[in-house]
A and B are shown apart, each in its own frame.
Chain A
Amino acid sequence: MQSVKFRLNGNPVTLKTDPTRRFLDVLREDLSHTGPKEGCGEGECGACAVLIDGHITNSCILPLGNVDGRDVMTIEGYRETERYRVLEEAYIAEGAVQCGICIPGMIIASESLLHHNPSPTDDEIRIGLSGNLCRCTGYNMIIRAIKRAAERGKGLW
């Protein structure tokens, strides 16, 4: 069986396993990274989101074979960054976290958005979050949190 090599949160990983497996299952079961969650399992809810070369991607519909040679960051690696600390403070300050299950995906979506657009408008934030469902907050607090992070973290993105 062909091996798949990639970087996970900065560390090289080599796996000999079926490359058609969902990357979400590989992360959670083989690599014990349980930050990405399974919500819908078909790319609609964003709970499984991870960063691939800095871009948000749904790991539940991503075959492992497409991760070969790429740079992956999950919430476990992202939480060690200064940008994460700015987002964490903003999410807490705006009351943007309720039950929490969508939040790893929301943080990944926030990072992907701010990385490509450091000072987004409300509409651009809504587009950036359009693949992430939250059933608690009604989104407004999350949008305010991202605006706050963009202001307080100026220069980080």
Chain B
Amino acid sequence: MVSHAIPKTYAEALEILKDGTHRVVAGGTDMMVRNRAWAGLPPAFDKPLLFAFNLPELKYVRVDEKAIYIGSMTDLETLLHHEDTPSLLREVIGEMASPAIRYVSTLAGNIVNASPAADSLLALYALDAQIVLESVEGKRVLPIEKMILGPGKTVLDHDEIIAEIRMPKSSFTHTAFRKVGGRRADAITKVGFIGCAVVDDGIIRDLRLIFNAVAPTLVRVKSVEALHIGHAIEDVLDDIETITHHYAEHINPIDDQRSNRAYRKETALELARHFIKTLQ
């Protein structure tokens, strides 16, 4: 029987993953709850686990003139206090969970968990994150929106691990992040939004609108953003109700225990409209 693995080095981890028999676990905060058994019994997993959280080679934050490079096992509390963390990502992490969970949470875990309500993913979509996947065969780099297919579904292969998250340096004249949740800490989002824009002399030069908890994956529609880029903010404001129409097929939330379809849809659209109104 194949058993759980606690590799000491990253090279050893890639070697163990080669046969596709193991599932990588980072901090485990989602997996341990999802696979929880009755008190005293170990959680039930479909595959042997590979514990990657303590791999020293995957804990780093580096920057150069172009981008920030985050080792996949860097915890969110470290990112929250790191001077090189993009301010938008820092703002989002500050609203996530609690210190006790942030010390063992990772961006890589959030990506593979692929929750439609993931807060950190709002920032990764907004900042055009690139995900570096690695196996013994080599590396491949994917944009975040190509990485995630649906709830809990990603393109990660059975022999791969997320090695790094990269974000190109970006600057905006306007940013907004809003998480609608039941309480300040430890809340799973009902609906969330990030808006980023560059406005220069009344003209929208860049616009990014990202929503979570309104569809099976996070929603960022570059074709809709492009409709606004290059236009005067006054013209966009005159026509602001059309945003409802533009997102009609993309924002398609569900009813669940945290919220309901109608509230999520109206709130998401209102957050976007409100953000655009702040651009003038």
Contacts and interface: CB of A to CB of B under 8 A. Distances in A.
Contact of A130 (B25, B27, B51, B99): B99
Contacts, number: 111
Interface in A1-31: 1-2, 4, 18-22, 25, 29
B100 A58 contact: yes
Given A43-B33, A62-B28, A65-B51, A4 B6 contact: yes
Interface stretch (A48-56, A83-91, A93-101, A140-148): A48-56
Interface stretch (B38-46, B118-126, B209-217, B256-264): B38-46
A63 B4 CA distance: 12
Interface residues of B, number: 32
Interface string B9-47: 000000000000000010111011100100110110100
A46 B98 contact: yes
A131 B185 contact: yes
B25 A63 contact: yes
Nearest to A56: B100
Main secondary structure of the interface of B (DSSP, over half): loop
A1 B2 CA distance: 10
A59 B124 CA distance: 28
Contacts of A130: 98-99, 184-186
A140 B118 CA distance: 31
B28 A56 contact: no
A131 B101 contact: yes
B240 interface: no
Residue picked from A20, A49, A52, most chain B C-beta under 10 Å: A20
Contact of B43 (A20, A49, A69, A70): A20
B198 interface: no
Nearest to A2: B6
A131 B220 CA distance: 31
B53 interface: yes
A66 interface: yes
B54 A66 contact: yes
Contacts of A128: 99
B112 to A, nearest CB: 16
Contacts of A46: 98, 100
Nearest to B183: A130
B98 A63 contact: no
A63 to B, nearest CB: 5
B3 A2 contact: yes
Interface of A: 1-2, 4, 18-22, 25, 29, 38, 41-44, 46, 49, 52, 55-58, 60-63, 65-66, 68-70, 109, 112-113, 127-128, 130-132
Given A63-B32, A68-B54, 7 more contacts: A2-B6, A20-B45, A43-B98, A49-B100, A55-B103, A58-B100, A66-B25
Interface of B: 3-6, 25, 27-29, 31-33, 36, 39-40, 42-43, 45, 49, 51, 53-54, 77, 97-101, 103-104, 184-186
